[in-house]
A = this chain, B = another copy of it.
């Protein structure tokens, strides 16, 4: 089975997911003449929006590049991809919860919201671990030649690293909400850096395989 229709469906889900994040912005209740103050108070929504946009965007870039190393898909890969998309769609709700709890400012609720976000991020990274493991053991699906399989070896620990970061973020949140937030942001920035690395090495290998 060709990989293109699965990519198109995934692109659709990512595009919708990243775009409906904007529905979290709602015209606030405010007294006439005080819109500016009301908007400034919405900074947590903007903050959560930027973080989740960066996150979903990075995962899309990953998906985009990784699936370029594949020439075929099969039933198992379609199912894995569907579970990945499922995990991604869960990110919208904790985004709203983080924004809301930061607005209210109660520390216990902020902890709950951030841990929810961390758990979803952890779940997403686990589905990537699953995807990487599956593809590494099914070389018939990939465009890469036998001697290029080191590519998959090189990235196989990336998801485990992410899982560790998000696990640490959850633990840290119990002691300090700010340390937990820092680790969560570090995890997302790590994704972006890991993406740049994967993208570079992938292009190198694909060029050689021609």
Contact = CB atoms under 8 A, between A and B. Distances in A.
Contact of A6 (B20, B25, B33, B64): B64
A11 B5 CA distance: 8
A8 B60 CA distance: 12
Contacts of A22: 17, 20, 89-90, 92-93
B12 A16 contact: yes
Given A18-B89, A86-B53, A112-B39, A64 B33 contact: no
Interface stretch (A103-111, A129-137, A142-150, A174-182): A103-111
A75 B196 contact: yes
A35 B86 contact: no
Nearest to A91: B22
A151 interface: no
- Interface residues of A, dominant DSSP: helix
Contact of A7 (B5, B79, B100): B5
A208 interface: no
A75 B13 contact: no
Nearest to A74: B203
A49 to B, nearest CB: 9
Contact of A1 (B6, B82, B108, B203): B203
Contacts of A113: 35
Contact of A27 (B1, B53, B100): B100
Best-buried of A7, A61, A96 by chain B (most CB within 10 Å): A61
A122 interface: no
A101 B65 CA distance: 43
A154 interface: no
Contacts of A11: 5, 8-9, 12
Contact of A36 (B9, B35, B112): B112
Given A35-B113, A86-B53, A19 B13 contact: yes
14 contacts: A1-B68, A1-B203, A5-B7, A12-B12, A16-B19, A17-B22, A18-B85, A19-B89, A25-B93, A30-B109, A32-B109, A33-B106, A35-B112, A75-B203
